[in-house]
């Protein structure tokens, strides 16, 4: 079976006022849908990949035939990252993580406040389109990084836990050029229970 666009797990207006209804609608129904369609189109000649998990494809792009590798890197990355994006938010969320994830943040990144500062700086400072990430490396250690375009931390041996999409389509309607305001607002809708489920203590 081809890759499917997951339903938005809440209403279009659920992330207001931090992420506006129109942006959420376009971001899911147009952008995420297009990554999905173009990933499927790229793999049409190689349907054996439809049976794989997108994570496993992105983990080792060298296994993808060269003629479609670029398309899979871009649209497969876009597909996977937006699957993560919608499921890391929820209405009435925000706050701070608890438990093992909170402990790991304190130990590795100093404190929640300092983690927030570092991820914000990475997101605001990224030139052009891309993502800022909190991931775990192969040893389980938390790392903050950025990737350009839809390049995936998972292709670099990392496991992404939380991503900040700083493509203009993620914020321009509401925040225009004020990426920093969008990045500040982002924290108000993060579902830490969902993020903690991705974390392997
Ligand atoms: Mn996006």
Model pLDDT for residues 126-136, shown as the tens digit of each residue: 999 999 999 99
Task: Check if the beta carbon of residue 15 is closer than 8 Å to that of residue 44.
Answer: no
**What is the mean pLDDT of the segment spanning 96-118?**
97
Structure tokens at 36: 């999905």
> How many angstroms separate the alpha carbon of residue 107 from the centre of ligand 1?
31
Would you state the pLDDT for residue 64? 98
Residues 19, 29, 193, 150, CA torsion sign: negative
Tokens 């297009």, residue?
34
Domains of the chain: 21-87 (1.10.287.990), 99-200 (3.55.40.20)
- CA–centroid distance, 65 to ligand 1, in Å, is 26
Mean pLDDT, range 142-162, rounded to an integer = 98
Nearest-Å Rg of the Cα atoms of the chain is 16
Q: Give 140's pLDDT tier (boundaries 50, 70, 90).
A: very high
As to burial, measured by CB atoms within 10 angstroms (0-12 exposed, 13-18 middle, 19+ buried), residue 177 is: exposed
How far apart (Å, rounded) are the C-alpha atoms in residues 49 and 44?
Answer: 9
Centre of ligand 1 from the C-alpha of residue 82, in Å: 6
- For residue 160, the CA-to-ligand 1 centroid distance in Å is 15
> Which DSSP symbol is given to 29?
I
Strands (E), 54-180: 130-136, 142-148, 159-165
- Taking the centre of ligand 1 as the mean of its atom positions, its distance from the CA of residue 31, in whole angstroms, is 7
Q: How many residues does the chain have?
A: 201
Tell me how far the alpha carbon of residue 164 lies from the centroid of ligand 1, in angstroms. Answer: 9
- CA dihedral sign, ordered 132, 8, 155, 201: positive
Please identify which residue in the block is written with the tokens 């920093």: 180
Q: How far is the CA of 155 from the centre of ligand 1 (A)?
A: 18
- pLDDT, mean over the chain: 98
- pLDDT tens across 81-98, in order? 999 999 999 999 999 999
Cα-to-centroid distance, 141 and ligand 1 (Å):
26
- pLDDT of 201 reads 77
Distance CA(154)–CA(55), nearest Å, equals 7
Name the pLDDT band for 75 (thresholds 50, 70, 90).
very high
Is residue 68 over pLDDT 90?
yes
Pull the structure tokens for residue 59.
Answer: 């983990």
Residue 198: pLDDT band by 50, 70, 90 thresholds? very high
pLDDT in tens, 4-16: 999 999 999 999 9
Assigned token pair, 65? 């035939």
């Amino acid at each position: 079976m081809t890759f499917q666009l997951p339903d938005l797990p809440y209403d279009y207006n659920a992330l207001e006022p931090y992420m506006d209804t129109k942006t959420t609608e376009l971001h899911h129904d147009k952008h995420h849908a297009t990554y999905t369609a173009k990933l499927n189109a790229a793999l049409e000649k190689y349907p054996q990949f439809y049976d794989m998990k997108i994570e496993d494809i992105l983990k080792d792009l060298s296994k993808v035939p060269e003629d479609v590798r670029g398309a899979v890197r871009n649209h497969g990355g876009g597909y996977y990252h937006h699957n993560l994006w919608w499921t890391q938010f929820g209405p009435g969320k925000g706050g701070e993580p608890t438990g093992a994830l909170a402990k790991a943040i304190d130990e590795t990144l100093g404190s929640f406040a300092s983690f927030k500062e570092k991820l914000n700086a990475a997101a605001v400072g990224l030139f052009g389109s891309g993502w800022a990430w909190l991931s775990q490396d192969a040893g389980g250690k938390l790392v903050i990084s950025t990737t350009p375009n839809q390049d995936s931390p998972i292709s670099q041996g990392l496991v992404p836990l939380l991503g900040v999409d700083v493509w203009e389509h993620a914020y321009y309607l509401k925040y225009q050029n004020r990426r920093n305001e969008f990045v500040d607002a982002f924290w108000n809708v993060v579902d830490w229970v969902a993020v903690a489920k991705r974390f392997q203590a």
